[in-house]
């Protein structure tokens, strides 16, 4: 696991964007796995700036997203499809038909999960998966205790995750109770994983990951078993690791 230490959120976002851009230039037909949440927003802003300034093209890439809330329509401002369209896709030359987010309103969510894993296989797998990490070490919506071999599945969201995400909703009650998420098994099949971590509140989970012990209680620790992981973490996120050195 390569760990790139940066000063702050802004530098993390710049570095992450540079990595993504150079990969896209090198392989214009790559499959990118995108994440939502606060962490990658700055990265997406840099991708848009670069696209406008330097013309990096996304017209031939395909994308898959990690997860989607159950029950939210694509045009609901809190859905992850809406987030992706507005924070990134609408500002790039990406082919919308080649962008994929799990359908959280599918009648049969279990079937949707199987379709999604099949789709990822058909695309030839994910070349670069961008990940954020929850305070409790979750990746995607895989909460502590999730099996490391899980395929895409329906999850009940942990109360702590619903509370953390309530800032985007009018009230906690509005935060969906369930979501569809790529499983840890699905994420681990990605060829390269780019984990972005910023802020004090992630320091404990990051320190656990760096200790090297792999435990389902901190889902991100499975990344220690992946052959190609790049972590970009800022000083605050590394605060517990740095003081232990
Ligand atoms: C988002 C996702 C989540 C977030 C995590 C961190 O698609 O799957 O695992 O990456 O909850 O969220 P933020 O970045 O808002 O701290």
Q: Which of 112, 127, 143, 234 is catalytic?
A: 143
| CATH number of the structural domain 2-190 | 3.40.50.1360
For residue range 169-212, what is the model confidence (pLDDT) as tens digits? 999 999 999 999 999 999 999 999 999 999 999 999 999 999 98
Q: In this structure, how many other beta carbons lie within 10 angstroms of the beta carbon of residue 160?
A: 14
**Distance, CA of 25 to CA of 3 (rounded, Å):** 23
For residue range 32-56, what is the model confidence (pLDDT) as tens digits? 999 999 999 999 999 999 999 999 9
Query: What is the average per-residue pLDDT within 44-70?
Result: 98
User: Does the beta carbon of 38 lie inside 6 Å of ligand 1?
Assistant: yes
**Distance, CA of 92 to CA of 63 (rounded, Å):** 13
**Residue 213, SS3 per DSSP:** coil
Atom of ligand 1 nearest to the CA of 34: 7
Q: Which of 35, 159, 167 to mutate to test the pocket of ligand 1 (most atoms within 8 A of CB)?
A: 35
For residue range 116-173, what is the model confidence (pLDDT) as tens digits? 999 999 999 999 999 999 999 999 999 999 999 999 999 999 898 899 889 999 999 9
**Distance, CA of 91 to CA of 53 (rounded, Å):** 12
pLDDT at position 206:
97
pLDDT at position 241:
85
pLDDT at position 164:
87
Active-site residue flag, 75: no
**Distance, CA of 182 to CA of 21 (rounded, Å):** 24
Q: Whole-model pTM?
A: 0.96
Query: What is the average per-residue pLDDT within 80-100?
Result: 98
For residue range 216-243, what is the model confidence (pLDDT) as tens digits? 999 999 999 999 999 999 999 999 986 5
Active-site residue flag, 50: no
């Amino acid at each position: 696991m390569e760990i790139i230490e940066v000063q702050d959120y802004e530098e993390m976002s710049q570095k992450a964007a540079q990595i993504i851009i150079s990969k896209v230039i090198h392989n214009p037909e790559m499959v990118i796995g995108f994440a939502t949440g606060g962490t990658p927003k700055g990265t997406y802003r840099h991708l848009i700036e670069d696209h406008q300034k330097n013309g990096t093209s996304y017209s031939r890439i395909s994308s898959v997203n990690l997860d989607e809330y159950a029950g939210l329509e694509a045009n609901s401002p809190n859905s992850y499809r809406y987030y992706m369209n507005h924070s990134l896709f609408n500002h790039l030359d990406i082919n919308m038909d080649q962008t994929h987010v799990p359908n959280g309103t599918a009648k049969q969510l279990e079937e949707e999960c199987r379709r999604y894993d099949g789709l990822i296989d058909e695309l030839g797998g994910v070349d670069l998966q961008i990940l954020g990490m929850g305070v409790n070490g979750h990746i995607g919506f895989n909460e502590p205790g999730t099996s490391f071999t899980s395929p895409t599945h329906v999850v009940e969201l942990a109360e702590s995750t619903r509370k953390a995400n309530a800032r985007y909703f009018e009230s906690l009650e509005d935060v969906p109770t369930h979501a569809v998420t790529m499983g840890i098994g699905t994420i681990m099949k990605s060829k390269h994983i780019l984990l972005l971590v910023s802020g004090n509140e992630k320091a404990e989970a990051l320190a656990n990951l760096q200790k090297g012990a792999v435990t389902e209680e901190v889902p991100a620790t499975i990344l220690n078993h992946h052959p190609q992981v790049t972590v970009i973490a800022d000083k605050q996120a590394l605060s517990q690791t740095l003081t232990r050195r």
